[in-house]
Amino acid sequence: MKNITRVLCMVALLFPLGLFAQKEIIIEPATLTMEVGQSKQLNAYVMENGKKLDEDVNIVSRARRALSIDSTKMAYAIAPGVHNIIAIAAGVRKDFTITVNYPALAEIKIEEIPEKIYAGTPIELKVKVIDKSGAVRDNVDVTFETKSATIANVDAFGMVNTMVPGKATITAKAEGISNTITVNVVKNPIVSIQLDAEGNEARTGDVFHFKAKALDKNGNEITDAPIYFSFNGKSDNVSQSASGLIKQDGRFVADEAGRYVITASCGVASASKTVKITAREVARKIELVGHGSVSDKHTSDFWVWEGVDGRDYAVTGTWGADGTAYFWDVTDPASIFKIDSVQVDARTVNDVKISEDGKICVISREGASNRKNGLVIIDVTNPRDVEILSTFDENMTGGVHNVFIDKGYVYALSGGQKYYAINIKDPRKPFAVSKFELDTPGHAIHDVWVEDGIAYSSNWGDGIQLVDVGNGIAGGSPENPKQFASYAYPNKANHAAFPFRSPSTGKFYVIGGDEIFPYGLNMEGPNMAGGYLHVIDFTDLDNPEEIARFEIPYAGSHNFWIEGETLYVAFYNGGVRVVDLSGELMGDLRKQGREIAWIIPNDPKGYVPNAPFTWGAQVHKGHVFYSDWNSGLWSAKVEPEKPKATKIQSK
């Protein structure tokens, strides 16, 4: 008997569906429609060959945040929609749906209607539809109508065009409810627009600040006049459109050389100005200088520094390999050669950093054989004979992806969720003094960079976080980090951040870089990345504004460096890009011709041959150094900038 039971069990495990095929779960009620906020008791049981079995049935919602079902099979309708439910008993399941109706609409709100509208000027109605559950609905068609069309008419999108003074009623309707408002159209006193700008000639990428005033017949300014800025243009290149960006505060930037007409209008009054835009012409030659090959493994991040002996050195990490970091002599950038290495228990040394005095190196560990990762502190006073001083893994076991050294502290990421400040003033006895971690749901972090006592962390969906770790702006210190500003952008891909205080404008920008791989994974050959740099104007810390971008088609941003007013950015398969950041920044920097130079490290003897995948860039003593995932460490030299009057030959 025991053996038969065993065999039956084995068969049951092999053919569970076949064995129980005749079983069926019955749900009562068979169909169910609910209202938001309602609860309903479900009943479920198993039938087999017409007999009701005494077996447990569990009912589970596949959309538990919209419709939850508890262990007593009570269903709670939370949000509208058709929700998929699964009923499970031993060896049998049933899929069914419960419909939760959308609540009836409660209100159509029309917001921010000005007290008076000057005849001839348009306004756009800001409409919000709210249902009886209090939810704002964006899946409802709203129609508009007016019975005072001679005073004001309204189009299908809620744009109101005003004609003559008077009161006009406008009605918004949706699913049986409506809201009627009255707009007060008054006589338009505006007879002219005065439009001023700093000049009428500039280069592509230079930002104009147009000032417009609406004036009455006596020349008095009408301060509450709605002024609308627009532009049209003609490119010098006949096959190119005259693109640019204009903001409704009068800022304008052109992408192409040509003539642009900027117009400020208020009703029938308008004024235009023509500006001549010439090509930015910042392109310079860049020449490959040297290469320190790493062809047996992937290379990760690097750092170049002047050693205590006055010579120049670099350290590079390795990725997905044997935990090695290499030390190089780069005093002659044309002759880069290895001088030492360390190997630690890791598979990836993702990041490497050097202290300001050139004596201490910190490398990160991921993929340790005992799964206890962390960081390693190395004496690089003599880079030809480096010495591991200590390791630190307390709270770091999840892997340290990136680190930064600032004034005796290491800021080290932990497990991709937070960073710790670690005192390394005695590098043989490091100890953590604080941590910074967001409290948002599902928060994650990728990088941290410290400058002038401010830590700039890159937090994917939570964007760029500015934390006072000694600057004093928010009373913070390494022991007591204080967050004081942030900016998150919609694609949730913030991977790196670098501050840029513009010398020519005084503006405080932070450049945030994406890391995205939209084209999948190719382990055998070249890969392509996506994503771009976002330029955020943090001059007003409470109201940061994303104002510009730098994007390379079919390549993606990674690590970058800014020196003076020049950006050096690794764009993975797009190599290193050198970008002019001079002046105010706005719009599409690449289209504006701000790219000074580019170089791609293509190595037929690389770890993956001919598959450039540039990791990062750094400028040191006039040379651009850059590491490449498949080929090691490189150096290049950008041709010096020539006097403006000299004709520059493009690359």
Query: Does residue number 81 form part of the binding site for another protein (CB under 8 A)?
Result: no
Name every residue whose Cβ is closer than 8 Å to that of residue 543 and which is 6 or more positions away in sequence: none
Q: Residue 122: exposed, middle, or buried by beta-carbon count in 10 A (0-12, 13-18, 19+)? A: middle
Q: How far apart are CA 55 and CA 495, in angstroms?
A: 52
Site membership for another protein, residue 54 (CB under 8 A): no
- Per CB under 8 A, contacts with another protein among 188-247 are none
**Which of residues 323 and 470 has its CB atom nearest to another protein in the complex?**
323
156 scored as a contact of another protein (CB under 8 A): no
Q: Which helix (H) or strand (E) holds 16?
A: helix 16-19
* Residues 375 and 411 sit within 8 Å (Cβ to Cβ): no
Beta-carbon count within 10 A of 521 CB: 6
Residues 6+ apart with CB under 8 A from 326: 292, 294, 315, 316, 318, 338, 340, 341
Instruction: Find the part of the chain contacting another protein (CB under 8 A) among 89-97, 117-125, 144-152, 269-277.
Output: 89-97
CB of 91 vs another protein, minimal distance in Å: 5
Return the residue of 25, 289, 346, 375 that touches another protein, per CB under 8 A.
346
Span of 75-83, 157-165, 313-321, 425-433 interacting with another protein by CB under 8 A: 313-321
Nearer to another protein, 344 or 579 (CB): 344
Stretch that binds another protein, among 3-11, 180-188, 576-584, 596-604 (CB under 8 A): 3-11
Beta partners for residue 184, in sequence order:
167
Per-residue contact track with another protein, 461 to 500, x per CB under 8 A? Answer: x---------------------------------------
Beta carbons of 532 and 552 less than 8 angstroms apart: yes
Which residues are bridge partners to 510 per DSSP? 499, 536
Q: Is 443 in the site for another protein (CB under 8 A)?
A: yes
Strands 74-77 and 39-41: antiparallel
In the range 568-607, which residues lie near another protein by CB under 8 A?
A: 572
CA distances from 288 to 600, 602, 624, 635 (A): 9, 11, 9, 6
CB of 310 or CB of 442, closer to another protein: 442
CA 376 to chain centroid, in Å, comes to 30
For the segment 613-642, give every residue that binds another protein (CB under 8 A).
Answer: 613, 615, 629
Site membership for another protein, residue 414 (CB under 8 A)? yes
Which C-beta is closer to another protein: that of 247 or that of 297? 297
Cβ burial, residue 6 (10 Å; 0-12/13-18/19+): exposed
What's the min distance (Å) between Cβ of 17 and another protein? 8
For another protein, the closer CB: 494 or 502: 494
Asked if residue 13 binds another protein (CB under 8 A), the reply is yes
- Residue 272 CA, distance from chain mean position: 36
Q: Give dist(CA 568, CA 553) in Å, integer.
A: 17
Nearer to another protein by C-beta: 258 or 398? 398
Reading across the β-sheet that carries 207-209, which strands appear in turn? 207-209, 251-254, 244-246
Which of 54-62, 119-127, 472-480, 578-586 is the region at the interface with another protein (rule: CB under 8 A)?
A: 54-62
DSSP state of 188: -
| Minimum CB distance to another protein, residue 572 (Å) | 8
C-alpha 560: how far from chain center: 15
Site string (261-300) toward another protein, x via CB under 8 A: ------------------------------------x---
User: Torsion angle of alpha carbons 284, 290, 295, 300, nearest 10°?
Assistant: -60
The 515-534 contact track toward another protein, x by CB under 8 A, reads x-x--xxxx---x-x-----
User: What is the distance between the alpha carbons of residues 628 and 537, in angstroms, rounded to a whole number?
Assistant: 30
Any contact of residue 506 with another protein (CB under 8 A)?
Answer: no
Binding site for another protein (CB under 8 A): 4, 6-14, 16-17, 56, 58, 60-62, 64, 71, 84, 86, 88-91, 93, 297, 319-323, 343, 345-348, 366-367, 369, 371, 373, 397-399, 414-417, 439, 441-444, 446, 460-461, 515, 517, 520-523, 527, 529, 558, 572, 613, 615, 629
